[in-house]
Structure 1
Protein backbone atom coordinates (compact mmCIF):
# COMPACT_ATOMS: atom_id res chain seq x y z
CA UNK A 1 0.00 0.00 0.00
CA UNK A 2 1.29 3.47 -0.91
CA UNK A 3 0.99 6.05 1.85
CA UNK A 4 -0.55 9.42 0.79
CA UNK A 5 2.04 12.18 1.02
CA UNK A 6 -0.35 14.48 2.91
CA UNK A 7 -0.55 12.18 5.94
CA UNK A 8 2.18 9.94 7.24
CA UNK A 9 3.05 7.79 10.20
CA UNK A 10 6.74 8.67 9.86
CA UNK A 11 8.35 11.33 12.02
CA UNK A 12 11.00 13.72 10.69
CA UNK A 13 14.43 14.36 12.19
CA UNK A 14 15.90 17.86 12.46
CA UNK A 15 17.84 17.40 9.24
CA UNK A 16 14.72 16.38 7.31
CA UNK A 17 15.43 12.64 7.44
CA UNK A 18 12.32 10.51 7.83
CA UNK A 19 12.45 8.18 10.81
CA UNK A 20 10.38 5.04 11.36
CA UNK A 21 7.43 5.34 13.75
CA UNK A 22 8.31 4.56 17.35
CA UNK A 23 5.49 2.58 18.91
CA UNK A 24 4.73 2.45 22.62
CA UNK A 25 3.13 -0.79 23.83
CA UNK A 26 0.92 -1.87 26.71
CA UNK A 27 0.39 -5.60 27.32
CA UNK A 28 -2.30 -7.05 29.58
CA UNK A 29 -2.67 -10.44 31.24
CA UNK A 30 -5.38 -11.55 28.76
CA UNK A 31 -2.94 -11.48 25.84
CA UNK A 32 -3.97 -8.11 24.40
CA UNK A 33 -1.24 -5.71 23.24
CA UNK A 34 -2.04 -2.07 22.45
CA UNK A 35 0.33 -0.09 20.19
CA UNK A 36 0.35 3.72 19.85
CA UNK A 37 2.54 6.26 18.04
CA UNK A 38 2.37 9.75 16.58
CA UNK A 39 0.72 9.95 13.15
CA UNK A 40 -2.48 9.50 11.16
CA UNK A 41 -4.47 6.53 9.85
CA UNK A 42 -4.36 7.88 6.27
CA UNK A 43 -6.71 5.77 4.19
CA UNK A 44 -6.76 2.30 5.67
CA UNK A 45 -3.24 2.07 7.11
CA UNK A 46 -2.47 -0.91 9.30
CA UNK A 47 0.13 -2.24 11.69
CA UNK A 48 1.37 -5.52 10.24
CA UNK A 49 2.97 -8.30 12.29
CA UNK A 50 5.02 -10.77 10.24
CA UNK A 51 6.20 -14.08 11.64
CA UNK A 52 9.85 -14.80 10.96
CA UNK A 53 10.44 -17.80 8.72
CA UNK A 54 6.74 -18.19 7.85
CA UNK A 55 6.95 -16.87 4.28
CA UNK A 56 3.84 -15.34 2.74
CA UNK A 57 1.32 -17.98 3.84
CA UNK A 58 -1.90 -17.21 5.74
CA UNK A 59 -0.18 -17.80 9.09
CA UNK A 60 2.69 -15.48 8.22
CA UNK A 61 1.09 -12.06 8.75
CA UNK A 62 -1.55 -10.36 10.90
CA UNK A 63 -2.94 -6.92 9.92
CA UNK A 64 -4.19 -4.65 12.71
CA UNK A 65 -6.24 -1.61 11.55
CA UNK A 66 -5.04 1.75 12.84
CA UNK A 67 -7.42 3.90 14.89
CA UNK A 68 -7.25 7.68 15.37
CA UNK A 69 -6.91 8.45 19.09
CA UNK A 70 -7.67 12.18 18.90
CA UNK A 71 -4.42 13.25 20.60
CA UNK A 72 -2.21 13.33 17.53
CA UNK A 73 -1.48 9.62 17.89
CA UNK A 74 -2.79 6.47 16.26
CA UNK A 75 -3.30 3.09 17.81
CA UNK A 76 -3.64 -0.57 16.89
CA UNK A 77 -4.82 -3.42 19.09
CA UNK A 78 -3.69 -7.02 19.02
CA UNK A 79 -6.62 -8.64 20.81
CA UNK A 80 -6.14 -11.71 22.94
CA UNK A 81 -8.75 -13.42 20.75
CA UNK A 82 -6.57 -13.06 17.62
CA UNK A 83 -4.59 -16.22 16.91
CA UNK A 84 -0.85 -15.61 16.88
CA UNK A 85 1.25 -18.70 16.24
CA UNK A 86 4.25 -19.35 18.46
CA UNK A 87 7.34 -17.56 17.25
CA UNK A 88 8.88 -14.14 16.61
CA UNK A 89 6.66 -11.50 14.94
CA UNK A 90 8.24 -8.34 13.53
CA UNK A 91 6.23 -5.08 13.35
CA UNK A 92 5.81 -3.01 10.16
CA UNK A 93 3.59 -0.23 8.89
CA UNK A 94 1.22 -0.99 6.02
CA UNK A 95 3.80 -0.04 3.40
CA UNK A 96 6.52 -2.27 4.87
CA UNK A 97 8.39 0.27 7.04
CA UNK A 98 9.85 -1.34 10.14
CA UNK A 99 8.47 0.01 13.42
CA UNK A 100 10.87 1.03 16.19
CA UNK A 101 10.30 -0.01 19.80
CA UNK A 102 9.22 2.75 22.18
CA UNK A 103 8.13 2.58 25.82
CA UNK A 104 6.74 -0.82 26.85
CA UNK A 105 4.41 -1.27 29.82
CA UNK A 106 4.58 -4.98 30.71
CA UNK A 107 3.68 -4.81 34.39
CA UNK A 108 0.54 -6.92 33.93
CA UNK A 109 2.68 -9.86 32.73
CA UNK A 110 4.72 -10.14 35.93
CA UNK A 111 3.70 -13.14 38.08
CA UNK A 112 0.81 -13.79 35.73
CA UNK A 113 -1.54 -16.69 36.57
CA UNK A 114 -3.32 -18.04 33.46
CA UNK A 115 -7.08 -18.45 33.77
CA UNK A 116 -7.21 -21.51 31.49
CA UNK A 117 -5.02 -24.48 30.64
CA UNK A 118 -4.17 -22.94 27.27
CA UNK A 119 -1.32 -20.53 27.92
CA UNK A 120 -0.79 -17.72 25.42
CA UNK A 121 1.86 -15.06 25.87
CA UNK A 122 2.45 -12.00 23.66
CA UNK A 123 5.50 -10.07 24.75
CA UNK A 124 6.55 -6.94 22.79
CA UNK A 125 10.29 -6.26 22.90
CA UNK A 126 13.09 -4.38 21.10
CA UNK A 127 15.46 -6.13 18.73
CA UNK A 128 19.19 -5.46 18.93
CA UNK A 129 18.81 -2.78 16.23
CA UNK A 130 15.86 -1.11 17.98
CA UNK A 131 13.09 -2.57 15.82
CA UNK A 132 9.88 -3.72 17.51
CA UNK A 133 8.95 -7.40 17.67
CA UNK A 134 6.43 -9.52 19.55
CA UNK A 135 7.45 -12.89 21.00
CA UNK A 136 4.50 -15.27 21.06
CA UNK A 137 4.15 -18.54 22.96
CA UNK A 138 1.19 -20.93 22.70
CA UNK A 139 1.29 -23.91 25.08
CA UNK A 140 -1.40 -26.41 26.12
CA UNK A 141 -0.63 -27.81 28.59
CA UNK A 142 2.29 -25.77 29.89
CA UNK A 143 4.90 -26.45 32.60
CA UNK A 144 6.16 -23.18 34.08
CA UNK A 145 9.58 -23.43 35.70
CA UNK A 146 9.99 -21.61 39.00
CA UNK A 147 12.78 -21.68 41.56
CA UNK A 148 15.95 -23.58 40.64
CA UNK A 149 18.27 -24.83 43.39
CA UNK A 150 21.80 -25.69 42.24
CA UNK A 151 24.19 -27.95 44.14
CA UNK A 152 27.33 -29.89 43.17
CA UNK A 153 26.29 -32.66 40.81
CA UNK A 154 22.62 -31.74 40.38
CA UNK A 155 19.93 -29.09 40.35
CA UNK A 156 16.30 -29.14 41.48
CA UNK A 157 13.54 -27.33 39.63
CA UNK A 158 10.12 -26.57 41.09
CA UNK A 159 7.25 -25.53 38.86
CA UNK A 160 3.54 -25.29 38.12
CA UNK A 161 1.69 -27.36 35.52
CA UNK A 162 -1.14 -25.56 33.69
CA UNK A 163 -3.78 -27.55 31.83
CA UNK A 164 -3.02 -30.93 33.43
CA UNK A 165 -2.35 -32.47 36.84
CA UNK A 166 0.53 -34.39 38.34
CA UNK A 167 -0.25 -38.09 38.77
CA UNK A 168 1.46 -41.32 39.79
CA UNK A 169 4.66 -42.04 37.92
CA UNK A 170 5.22 -38.47 36.74
CA UNK A 171 8.72 -37.82 35.53
CA UNK A 172 10.92 -35.26 33.84
CA UNK A 173 12.62 -36.43 30.66
CA UNK A 174 15.95 -35.00 29.53
CA UNK A 175 16.34 -35.42 25.77
CA UNK A 176 19.34 -35.24 23.46
CA UNK A 177 18.50 -36.39 19.94
CA UNK A 178 17.06 -39.88 20.33
CA UNK A 179 18.47 -40.28 23.86
CA UNK A 180 16.07 -39.94 26.79
CA UNK A 181 16.91 -39.95 30.49
CA UNK A 182 14.14 -39.92 33.11
CA UNK A 183 14.06 -38.36 36.58
CA UNK A 184 11.36 -38.88 39.20
CA UNK A 185 8.92 -36.08 39.97
CA UNK A 186 7.37 -35.33 43.33
CA UNK A 187 4.30 -33.19 43.86
CA UNK A 188 0.55 -33.24 43.44
CA UNK A 189 -2.22 -31.35 41.68
CA UNK A 190 -0.47 -28.68 39.59
CA UNK A 191 2.79 -28.47 41.57
CA UNK A 192 5.88 -30.46 40.59
CA UNK A 193 9.47 -30.78 41.72
CA UNK A 194 12.36 -32.74 40.21
CA UNK A 195 16.10 -33.20 40.75
CA UNK A 196 18.26 -33.67 37.64
CA UNK A 197 21.63 -35.36 38.16
CA UNK A 198 24.41 -34.31 35.79
CA UNK A 199 26.32 -37.60 35.96
CA UNK A 200 23.35 -39.46 34.49
CA UNK A 201 23.42 -37.17 31.46
CA UNK A 202 27.21 -37.18 31.05
CA UNK A 203 27.27 -40.99 31.04
CA UNK A 204 24.56 -41.08 28.37
CA UNK A 205 26.17 -38.81 25.78
CA UNK A 206 27.82 -41.69 23.91
CA UNK A 207 30.68 -39.51 22.70
CA UNK A 208 33.30 -42.10 21.88
CA UNK A 209 35.09 -45.08 23.37
CA UNK A 210 35.08 -45.42 27.13
CA UNK A 211 37.74 -43.26 28.74
CA UNK A 212 38.03 -40.82 25.84
CA UNK A 213 37.45 -37.11 26.33
CA UNK A 214 34.08 -35.50 25.54
CA UNK A 215 34.20 -33.85 22.14
CA UNK A 216 31.46 -31.21 22.07
CA UNK A 217 28.95 -29.22 24.05
CA UNK A 218 25.66 -30.96 24.78
CA UNK A 219 22.31 -29.28 25.41
CA UNK A 220 19.63 -31.55 26.87
CA UNK A 221 16.04 -30.30 26.65
CA UNK A 222 13.65 -30.93 29.56
CA UNK A 223 10.09 -32.23 29.23
CA UNK A 224 7.47 -33.20 31.81
CA UNK A 225 5.30 -36.31 31.58
CA UNK A 226 2.48 -35.64 34.08
CA UNK A 227 1.86 -39.35 34.87
CA UNK A 228 3.03 -42.84 33.97
CA UNK A 229 1.64 -43.83 30.59
CA UNK A 230 0.56 -40.26 29.83
CA UNK A 231 1.21 -39.44 26.19
CA UNK A 232 1.49 -35.73 26.96
CA UNK A 233 4.91 -34.16 26.41
CA UNK A 234 5.05 -30.81 28.17
CA UNK A 235 8.03 -28.56 27.55
CA UNK A 236 9.39 -27.02 30.76
CA UNK A 237 9.82 -23.27 30.16
CA UNK A 238 9.57 -19.94 31.94
CA UNK A 239 7.36 -17.55 29.97
CA UNK A 240 4.89 -16.07 32.46
CA UNK A 241 6.66 -12.77 33.09
CA UNK A 242 8.12 -9.82 31.17
CA UNK A 243 11.46 -11.34 30.03
CA UNK A 244 11.49 -12.30 26.34
CA UNK A 245 14.97 -13.88 26.28
CA UNK A 246 16.42 -14.99 29.59
CA UNK A 247 19.37 -17.09 28.39
CA UNK A 248 21.93 -14.40 29.27
CA UNK A 249 19.99 -13.03 32.27
CA UNK A 250 19.33 -16.17 34.34
CA UNK A 251 22.81 -17.67 34.66
CA UNK A 252 23.35 -20.54 37.09
CA UNK A 253 26.54 -22.04 38.56
CA UNK A 254 28.03 -25.01 36.68
CA UNK A 255 29.75 -28.01 38.25
CA UNK A 256 32.12 -30.69 37.02
CA UNK A 257 30.57 -34.04 36.07
CA UNK A 258 32.32 -36.87 34.19
CA UNK A 259 34.55 -34.63 32.11
CA UNK A 260 32.01 -31.85 31.63
CA UNK A 261 31.00 -28.64 33.30
CA UNK A 262 27.27 -28.98 33.72
CA UNK A 263 24.43 -26.75 34.81
CA UNK A 264 20.89 -25.57 34.04
CA UNK A 265 20.28 -22.81 31.51
CA UNK A 266 17.52 -21.30 29.41
CA UNK A 267 17.71 -21.20 25.63
CA UNK A 268 16.58 -18.35 23.38
CA UNK A 269 12.96 -19.56 23.56
CA UNK A 270 13.00 -19.50 27.40
CA UNK A 271 12.92 -23.32 27.51
CA UNK A 272 14.79 -24.93 30.41
CA UNK A 273 17.76 -27.08 29.37
CA UNK A 274 20.84 -28.73 30.84
CA UNK A 275 24.14 -27.69 29.31
CA UNK A 276 27.20 -29.95 29.39
CA UNK A 277 30.38 -28.27 28.13
CA UNK A 278 33.70 -30.17 27.84
CA UNK A 279 36.39 -29.24 30.33
CA UNK A 280 39.33 -27.51 28.67
Structure 2
Protein backbone atom coordinates (compact mmCIF):
# COMPACT_ATOMS: atom_id res chain seq x y z
CA UNK A 1 0.00 0.00 0.00
CA UNK A 2 1.40 3.45 -0.88
CA UNK A 3 1.69 6.24 1.66
CA UNK A 4 -0.82 8.34 -0.31
CA UNK A 5 -3.36 5.50 -0.14
CA UNK A 6 -3.01 5.39 3.66
CA UNK A 7 -3.69 9.11 4.02
CA UNK A 8 -6.54 9.33 1.58
CA UNK A 9 -10.16 9.02 2.71
CA UNK A 10 -11.91 6.36 0.58
CA UNK A 11 -14.66 7.64 -1.69
CA UNK A 12 -17.19 5.55 -3.61
CA UNK A 13 -19.33 6.23 -6.66
CA UNK A 14 -22.62 4.30 -6.50
CA UNK A 15 -24.87 3.01 -9.27
CA UNK A 16 -28.23 1.39 -8.54
CA UNK A 17 -29.01 -1.44 -10.96
CA UNK A 18 -32.33 -2.58 -12.45
CA UNK A 19 -32.65 -5.38 -9.87
CA UNK A 20 -32.11 -3.01 -6.92
CA UNK A 21 -28.48 -3.98 -6.44
CA UNK A 22 -25.77 -1.37 -5.89
CA UNK A 23 -22.31 -1.15 -7.48
CA UNK A 24 -19.65 0.65 -5.43
CA UNK A 25 -16.59 1.96 -7.32
CA UNK A 26 -13.85 3.16 -4.96
CA UNK A 27 -11.27 5.58 -6.31
CA UNK A 28 -8.39 3.87 -4.50
CA UNK A 29 -5.32 2.56 -6.29
CA UNK A 30 -3.78 -0.36 -4.45
CA UNK A 31 -0.40 -1.96 -5.01
CA UNK A 32 -0.68 -4.82 -2.53
CA UNK A 33 -2.01 -8.18 -3.69
CA UNK A 34 -4.66 -8.60 -1.02
CA UNK A 35 -7.58 -6.22 -1.52
CA UNK A 36 -9.61 -4.75 1.34
CA UNK A 37 -13.34 -5.39 1.68
CA UNK A 38 -16.36 -3.17 1.88
CA UNK A 39 -18.24 -3.46 5.18
CA UNK A 40 -21.87 -2.37 5.56
CA UNK A 41 -23.03 -2.06 9.17
CA UNK A 42 -26.65 -1.76 10.24
CA UNK A 43 -26.85 1.35 12.38
CA UNK A 44 -28.05 0.62 15.88
CA UNK A 45 -27.59 -3.18 15.64
CA UNK A 46 -27.09 -4.54 19.16
CA UNK A 47 -26.73 -8.26 18.53
CA UNK A 48 -23.89 -9.96 20.46
CA UNK A 49 -23.07 -11.86 17.26
CA UNK A 50 -20.25 -9.89 15.61
CA UNK A 51 -21.41 -10.77 12.10
CA UNK A 52 -25.07 -9.95 12.75
CA UNK A 53 -26.08 -6.62 11.27
CA UNK A 54 -23.10 -6.61 8.86
CA UNK A 55 -22.68 -7.28 5.14
CA UNK A 56 -19.19 -7.92 3.73
CA UNK A 57 -18.46 -7.32 0.06
CA UNK A 58 -15.29 -8.33 -1.76
CA UNK A 59 -13.48 -5.61 -3.71
CA UNK A 60 -12.00 -6.42 -7.12
CA UNK A 61 -9.66 -4.23 -9.21
CA UNK A 62 -10.93 -2.60 -12.40
CA UNK A 63 -8.82 -1.85 -15.47
CA UNK A 64 -8.44 1.79 -14.47
CA UNK A 65 -7.08 0.76 -11.08
CA UNK A 66 -10.19 1.47 -9.01
CA UNK A 67 -11.79 -1.13 -6.76
CA UNK A 68 -15.35 -2.40 -7.24
CA UNK A 69 -17.81 -4.14 -4.93
CA UNK A 70 -21.35 -5.24 -5.80
CA UNK A 71 -24.28 -5.60 -3.43
CA UNK A 72 -26.62 -7.98 -5.32
CA UNK A 73 -30.29 -7.14 -5.54
CA UNK A 74 -31.06 -10.58 -4.10
CA UNK A 75 -29.26 -9.81 -0.82
CA UNK A 76 -31.75 -9.80 2.08
CA UNK A 77 -30.61 -6.79 4.08
CA UNK A 78 -32.65 -5.73 7.08
CA UNK A 79 -34.67 -2.53 7.01
CA UNK A 80 -32.77 0.45 8.36
CA UNK A 81 -29.70 2.59 7.68
CA UNK A 82 -26.45 0.89 6.75
CA UNK A 83 -23.16 2.76 7.11
CA UNK A 84 -20.42 1.95 4.58
CA UNK A 85 -16.81 1.29 5.69
CA UNK A 86 -13.55 0.12 4.14
CA UNK A 87 -11.91 -2.72 6.07
CA UNK A 88 -8.21 -3.37 5.45
CA UNK A 89 -6.83 -6.91 5.00
CA UNK A 90 -5.94 -8.39 8.36
CA UNK A 91 -7.66 -5.55 10.21
CA UNK A 92 -10.67 -5.78 12.49
CA UNK A 93 -14.11 -4.26 12.09
CA UNK A 94 -13.47 -1.62 14.74
CA UNK A 95 -10.61 -0.24 12.65
CA UNK A 96 -12.68 0.09 9.47
CA UNK A 97 -12.67 3.55 7.86
CA UNK A 98 -15.88 5.36 6.88
CA UNK A 99 -16.35 5.83 3.12
CA UNK A 100 -17.28 9.18 1.61
CA UNK A 101 -20.02 9.48 -1.06
CA UNK A 102 -19.01 10.23 -4.63
CA UNK A 103 -21.31 10.33 -7.66
CA UNK A 104 -24.63 8.55 -7.04
CA UNK A 105 -26.53 7.31 -10.09
CA UNK A 106 -30.10 6.69 -8.88
CA UNK A 107 -31.95 7.10 -12.19
CA UNK A 108 -33.37 3.57 -12.20
CA UNK A 109 -35.14 4.22 -8.89
CA UNK A 110 -37.40 6.90 -10.39
CA UNK A 111 -40.91 5.67 -11.29
CA UNK A 112 -39.96 2.17 -10.27
CA UNK A 113 -42.57 -0.57 -10.79
CA UNK A 114 -41.71 -3.51 -8.51
CA UNK A 115 -42.26 -7.09 -9.54
CA UNK A 116 -44.26 -9.51 -7.40
CA UNK A 117 -42.92 -10.52 -4.01
CA UNK A 118 -41.51 -8.50 -1.12
CA UNK A 119 -40.67 -4.86 -1.88
CA UNK A 120 -36.93 -4.28 -1.30
CA UNK A 121 -35.57 -0.75 -1.78
CA UNK A 122 -31.98 0.45 -1.28
CA UNK A 123 -30.90 4.07 -1.72
CA UNK A 124 -27.25 5.15 -1.21
CA UNK A 125 -27.14 8.63 0.31
CA UNK A 126 -24.78 11.12 2.05
CA UNK A 127 -25.17 11.45 5.80
CA UNK A 128 -25.22 14.86 7.48
CA UNK A 129 -21.59 14.44 8.54
CA UNK A 130 -20.41 13.55 5.03
CA UNK A 131 -20.29 9.74 5.10
CA UNK A 132 -21.84 7.21 2.72
CA UNK A 133 -24.80 5.15 3.89
CA UNK A 134 -27.54 3.01 2.35
CA UNK A 135 -31.19 3.34 3.37
CA UNK A 136 -33.01 0.01 3.10
CA UNK A 137 -36.69 -0.86 3.21
CA UNK A 138 -38.15 -4.34 3.14
CA UNK A 139 -41.95 -4.42 2.99
CA UNK A 140 -44.36 -7.28 2.34
CA UNK A 141 -47.09 -6.23 1.72
CA UNK A 142 -46.58 -2.53 0.98
CA UNK A 143 -48.93 0.47 0.60
CA UNK A 144 -47.23 3.14 -1.55
CA UNK A 145 -48.63 6.64 -0.98
CA UNK A 146 -49.26 8.72 -4.08
CA UNK A 147 -50.92 12.13 -4.53
CA UNK A 148 -52.20 13.96 -1.45
CA UNK A 149 -54.96 16.49 -2.13
CA UNK A 150 -57.02 18.74 0.14
CA UNK A 151 -60.49 20.07 0.58
CA UNK A 152 -61.81 22.29 3.31
CA UNK A 153 -62.26 19.51 5.84
CA UNK A 154 -59.38 17.07 5.35
CA UNK A 155 -57.13 15.29 2.90
CA UNK A 156 -57.51 12.59 0.26
CA UNK A 157 -54.69 10.12 -0.39
CA UNK A 158 -54.37 7.86 -3.42
CA UNK A 159 -51.86 5.04 -3.68
CA UNK A 160 -50.84 1.60 -4.88
CA UNK A 161 -51.09 -1.61 -2.86
CA UNK A 162 -48.54 -4.39 -3.39
CA UNK A 163 -48.61 -7.95 -2.11
CA UNK A 164 -52.24 -8.12 -1.06
CA UNK A 165 -55.71 -6.92 -2.04
CA UNK A 166 -58.23 -4.72 -0.28
CA UNK A 167 -60.84 -7.42 0.17
CA UNK A 168 -64.12 -6.60 1.87
CA UNK A 169 -64.47 -4.16 4.77
CA UNK A 170 -60.97 -2.73 4.19
CA UNK A 171 -60.20 0.43 6.12
CA UNK A 172 -57.51 2.97 6.91
CA UNK A 173 -56.61 3.60 10.53
CA UNK A 174 -55.05 6.78 11.86
CA UNK A 175 -53.33 5.75 15.08
CA UNK A 176 -52.00 7.92 17.88
CA UNK A 177 -49.15 6.06 19.60
CA UNK A 178 -49.22 6.22 23.36
CA UNK A 179 -50.97 4.91 26.41
CA UNK A 180 -54.51 5.74 25.28
CA UNK A 181 -54.07 4.10 21.85
CA UNK A 182 -56.59 6.31 20.06
CA UNK A 183 -57.61 5.13 16.58
CA UNK A 184 -59.70 6.82 13.88
CA UNK A 185 -61.05 4.46 11.20
CA UNK A 186 -62.17 5.59 7.73
CA UNK A 187 -63.28 3.52 4.71
CA UNK A 188 -60.90 2.86 1.80
CA UNK A 189 -61.78 2.25 -1.84
CA UNK A 190 -59.84 0.95 -4.82
CA UNK A 191 -59.45 -1.73 -7.45
CA UNK A 192 -56.69 -3.68 -9.21
CA UNK A 193 -53.97 -2.73 -6.77
CA UNK A 194 -55.00 0.86 -6.05
CA UNK A 195 -56.44 2.48 -2.94
CA UNK A 196 -57.87 5.84 -1.92
CA UNK A 197 -59.26 7.31 1.27
CA UNK A 198 -60.31 10.64 2.75
CA UNK A 199 -59.30 11.60 6.28
CA UNK A 200 -61.33 14.37 7.97
CA UNK A 201 -59.03 16.41 10.18
CA UNK A 202 -61.68 17.51 12.67
CA UNK A 203 -62.33 13.88 13.67
CA UNK A 204 -58.69 13.52 14.71
CA UNK A 205 -58.96 16.46 17.10
CA UNK A 206 -61.30 14.81 19.60
CA UNK A 207 -61.09 17.14 22.57
CA UNK A 208 -58.45 19.75 23.27
CA UNK A 209 -54.99 19.44 21.70
CA UNK A 210 -52.47 21.02 24.07
CA UNK A 211 -49.28 19.47 22.63
CA UNK A 212 -48.11 18.10 19.32
CA UNK A 213 -49.55 14.72 18.28
CA UNK A 214 -48.18 12.56 15.46
CA UNK A 215 -50.79 10.22 13.97
CA UNK A 216 -49.53 7.29 11.88
CA UNK A 217 -51.53 5.92 8.93
CA UNK A 218 -52.17 2.22 8.29
CA UNK A 219 -54.11 0.36 5.61
CA UNK A 220 -55.94 -2.66 7.01
CA UNK A 221 -57.13 -5.05 4.24
CA UNK A 222 -60.42 -6.86 4.68
CA UNK A 223 -60.65 -10.30 6.20
CA UNK A 224 -61.20 -11.92 2.79
CA UNK A 225 -57.57 -11.15 1.91
CA UNK A 226 -56.08 -12.52 5.12
CA UNK A 227 -55.54 -9.34 7.10
CA UNK A 228 -51.82 -8.72 7.89
CA UNK A 229 -51.14 -8.46 11.60
CA UNK A 230 -51.36 -4.80 12.55
CA UNK A 231 -52.15 -3.61 9.03
CA UNK A 232 -49.85 -2.17 6.36
CA UNK A 233 -47.94 1.06 6.99
CA UNK A 234 -48.66 3.72 4.36
CA UNK A 235 -45.32 5.03 3.11
CA UNK A 236 -43.62 6.40 0.02
CA UNK A 237 -40.38 4.58 -0.82
CA UNK A 238 -40.47 3.77 -4.55
CA UNK A 239 -38.24 6.55 -5.86
CA UNK A 240 -34.84 8.11 -5.15
CA UNK A 241 -35.72 10.15 -2.02
CA UNK A 242 -34.21 8.58 1.10
CA UNK A 243 -35.65 11.11 3.59
CA UNK A 244 -38.84 12.97 2.69
CA UNK A 245 -39.35 14.71 6.04
CA UNK A 246 -37.95 18.10 5.02
CA UNK A 247 -38.53 17.76 1.26
CA UNK A 248 -42.25 16.99 1.03
CA UNK A 249 -43.82 19.82 3.05
CA UNK A 250 -47.60 20.14 2.97
CA UNK A 251 -49.70 23.12 4.14
CA UNK A 252 -51.48 22.95 7.46
CA UNK A 253 -55.26 23.04 7.74
CA UNK A 254 -57.71 23.84 10.49
CA UNK A 255 -58.83 20.78 12.43
CA UNK A 256 -61.35 22.59 14.58
CA UNK A 257 -61.11 25.53 16.89
CA UNK A 258 -57.55 26.13 18.05
CA UNK A 259 -56.09 23.04 16.29
CA UNK A 260 -53.97 22.75 13.15
CA UNK A 261 -53.44 19.52 11.13
CA UNK A 262 -50.49 19.05 8.77
CA UNK A 263 -49.76 15.94 6.67
CA UNK A 264 -46.06 15.04 6.78
CA UNK A 265 -43.55 12.26 6.22
CA UNK A 266 -41.33 10.80 8.91
CA UNK A 267 -37.58 10.25 8.49
CA UNK A 268 -38.52 6.68 7.49
CA UNK A 269 -40.79 8.03 4.68
CA UNK A 270 -43.96 6.96 6.51
CA UNK A 271 -47.01 9.15 5.94
CA UNK A 272 -48.35 10.84 9.09
CA UNK A 273 -50.59 13.68 10.23
CA UNK A 274 -49.26 16.15 12.78
CA UNK A 275 -51.77 17.85 15.10
CA UNK A 276 -50.74 20.84 17.19
CA UNK A 277 -52.28 23.89 18.85
CA UNK A 278 -52.91 26.59 16.27
CA UNK A 279 -50.60 29.61 16.61
Fold shared by both chains (TM-score > 0.5): yes
Aligned with residue 246 of structure 1, among 240, 244, 255 = 244
For structure 2, list consecutive stretches of 5 or more residues without a partner in the other structure: 89-95
1:25 aligns with: 14
1:76 correspondence with 2:69: yes
2:216 aligns with: 221
Cα offset, 1:146, TM superposition: 0.5
Rounded to whole Å, the distance in 2 between the matches of 1:28 and 1:153 is: 43
Cα offset, 1:7, TM superposition: 7.9
Which deviates more, 261-270 or 31-40? 31-40
- Change in Cα spacing, 1:117 to 1:150, as seen in structure 2 (3 Å) is farther
SS in 1 for 2:205: helix
SS in 2 for 1:236: strand
Q: Provide TM-score, normalisation by structure 2.
A: 0.89
1:207 aligns with: none
For structure 1, list consecutive stretches of 5 or more residues without a partner in the other structure: 11-17, 204-209
The CA deviation string for residues 15-50 of structure 1, in whole angstroms up to 9 with x for no partner, is: xxx231110000023120000022246414101000
2:202 aligns with: 199
1:13 aligns with: none
1:49 correspondence with 2:59: no
Alignment of 1:129-278 (within 5 A): 129-177=129-177, 178-203=181-206, 213-228=208-223, 230-232=226-228, 233-258=231-256, 259-278=258-277
Cα offset, 1:8, TM superposition: 7.4
1:86 aligns with: 79
- Change in Cα spacing, 1:62 to 1:31, as seen in structure 2 (3 Å) is same
The CA deviation string for residues 140-160 of structure 1, in whole angstroms up to 9 with x for no partner, is: 000000111022220000000
Contact 1:29/1:112, CA 8 A, preserved across alignment: no
Q: Provide TM-score, normalisation by structure 1.
A: 0.88
Which deviates more, 136-145 or 183-192? 183-192
- Change in Cα spacing, 1:29 to 1:181, as seen in structure 2 (3 Å) is farther
Cα offset, 1:261, TM superposition: 0.9
Rounded to whole Å, the distance in 2 between the matches of 1:44 and 1:72 is: 12
2:97 aligns with: 97
Contact 2:209/2:275, CA 8 A, preserved across alignment: no
SS in 2 for 1:84: coil
Rounded to whole Å, the distance in 2 between the matches of 1:275 and 1:117 is: 32
Cα offset, 1:6, TM superposition: 4.0
1:279 correspondence with 2:278: yes
SS in 1 for 2:98: coil
SS in 1 for 2:125: strand
Rounded to whole Å, the distance in 2 between the matches of 1:118 and 1:86 is: 12
